Amino acid sequence: MSSIVVDGTPRTFLSPQIIQHIQKHALQRDSGSFEERNSFIEQRGSTQFFESFSLDPPKKCERMYSFPLTSKATPSPSPIEVFDASTFKLRKYRDRSTIYISDTTASICFDNMVRIDSFCREVFKRHPVANSEKTMISLLHHRLAKNNACWVPHLECVYFGDTDPDTFRPLDTNADVISHEFGHAVIQYAGGLQYRNQSGALNESLADVFAIMTKHYLSKVKANDPNASWLVGEGIVVSDKAKGALRSMEDPGSAYNNPRLGKDPQPKDMSDYRTTSEDHGGVHLYSGIPNRAFCLAAKAEGGASWEKIGKIWFQALEQGKPDMLFSQFALHTLRVAHLEYGDNIANIVGQAWQQVGVNFAKTISLGQLAAFIGGGLGTAFIANTTMVALMDPEKLTSFKLGGIILGGCFGGLALANRLEKRNLRALGMQI
């Protein structure tokens, strides 16, 4: 167990750009006075509210590990509470033992939280919040989260705002949205990914992965089943010309096309990746790249998304640093895939990252890759063409594709010395 410091930025389901688009559309259709228009925007949520959380003191968390899963028993159910936050005084709708206020929305939200808790405990052998019996808490009708939902790290609860009925269906009854936000709770304690730039996009992506695995688990479908949905926030966008969802893991950029929201801007691969200062460095925009890599790997593997590939992804999260890049996370998934499931699964994972344009050229040399993957194993690993293709081609001129032996700890170091003509120590689990 180790300590990590988590920034206070709330993990929102919708990006600030979408909220701003809704506000702009609201202004265009509102013919009232300036004061009335300002009130209209304020009622629909303020991006400044979410940004202000960044100024709160960071939360120190004890990093809690789930893997390996061998011999771990399923933990007892988490306490669950759902509150009405429409006024300054919270009113409890219900918990596991008592219904205090009968409310259909609260009951649907509660039932989804129960299913999420069951999935997390049965598959990952952990509780969603802090990997302990901390209470799962949802606050409904929160006026400062209008048209949005967010996990608030330092409060360890989820805010759900009400939605404009002509834009969104309710978020607090959508299973994908609820799963996504409690996925952030798991991420907070499993890896503590910083909420900015590529690590922030990984944070958003892993929350989507958690949501999609929950959906597949509850519907008992395999990843390549024609009935398996890869849409996140499915059905929440009203009068949409596309798929009526917020994100598509299978085909980023195709989830929605709506006058009130604009068109889904997510790119499919790294060729369209650009550095930006918006949305904490594009955490919602670029999450589609690792999302697609997960989808490709899970469908190619052919099993259930929550089994081999899902466990590879979350074990890689536990092993990486909070500020890791896409390429560093991809490297961890390759290492875990090889260690846990062998060369065939590692090949599938490597191909998935290759298809979305993530490679290790700027992260690690071939010699370092040998030391990292081989470090401490004491067994040989034959690097296939896919893994070699993920490297910088200029570093491979004297080696035959598909036939490079990456040995154990000493073999990896020997190859590193031969390649780079200098001593390289074997890299640890965090690079």
Q: What is the CA radius of gyration of the chain?
A: 22
Residue length of the chain? 431
Given a contact cutoff of 8 angstroms between Cβ atoms, the answer to whether 264 and 240 are in contact is no
Given a contact cutoff of 8 angstroms between Cβ atoms, the answer to whether 372 and 363 are in contact is no
Helix, strand or coil for residue 379?
Answer: coil
Write the DSSP symbol of residue 101.
S
C-alpha–C-alpha distance, residues 234 and 62, integer Å: 34
Tokens of 174: 């959508």
Q: Which residues pair with 83 in a beta bridge?
A: 92, 139
List, in sequence order, the alpha helices (H) in 14-170: 16-29, 34-43, 47-52, 104-124
Helix, strand or coil for residue 90?
Answer: coil
C-alpha–C-alpha distance, residues 165 and 186, integer Å: 31
Tokens of 150: 């967010």
C-alpha–C-alpha distance, residues 58 and 82, integer Å: 25
C-alpha–C-alpha distance, residues 244 and 254, integer Å: 9
Q: Is residue 21 among the annotated active site residues?
A: no
Helix, strand or coil for residue 129?
Answer: coil
DSSP characters for 360-416? Answer: STTT--HHHHHHHHHTTT-S-EEE-HHHHHTS-GGGGTTS-TT-EEE-SHHHHHHHH
The phi-psi region of residue 402 (left if phi > 0; otherwise alpha if psi is between -120 and 50; otherwise beta) is left
Q: Which is catalytic among the residues 180, 184, 284, 332? A: 284
Q: Which is catalytic among the residues 156, 181, 234, 301? A: 181
Half-sphere exposure of 118 (CA within 13 A, CB side): 9
Half-sphere exposure of 31 (CA within 13 A, CB side): 0
C-alpha–C-alpha distance, residues 402 and 391, integer Å: 13
Helix, strand or coil for residue 58?
Answer: coil
Given a contact cutoff of 8 angstroms between Cβ atoms, the answer to whether 392 and 368 are in contact is no
Write the DSSP symbol of residue 6.
E
Q: Is residue 154 among the annotated active site residues?
A: no
Measured between its terminal Cα atoms, the distance across the chain in Å is 18
Q: Which residues pair with 95 in a beta bridge?
A: 81
What residues are labeled active site?
A: 181, 284
